[in-house]
Amino acid sequence: MALGASTVYVLHVGRIESPLPVPARPWEVGLVAFEIARRHRFHEEMSALPPGVQVHVLPTGSEQLAPGLRQFRYRGRKQVSSSIERSYTASAGYLAQVGEARSR
């Protein structure tokens, strides 16, 4: 935007669209607090956009996972490949809709 961009595409890696669970264990408090901080930063950045800038937050295509320790566990190649494929499919569909809307 500092160089004059008027359209921005955001490829986020978080779970900004999923609800946060009430933490039940001590370590979950830290995970939820971290997630709150991440979401706060995202919303701060989005609210500070200059007028006229159009932002597209690309969908992840993933199932809604609540913050937890499993997000830090090693993922096998098959899981990563399927996650990439879901994200690609969801983002391609979204971008196709954006393109259709622009051509109208």
Q: Mean pLDDT by 10-residue block, N- to C-terminus, for the chain (104 residues)?
A: 89 76 89 89 91 90 60 64 86 90 74
Q: Which residue has the tokens 């946060």?
A: 20
> What's the pLDDT at 27?
86
Contact call for residues 91 and 46 (beta carbons, < 8 A): no
Is the model's pTM score more than 0.95? no
SS3 label, residue 9: strand
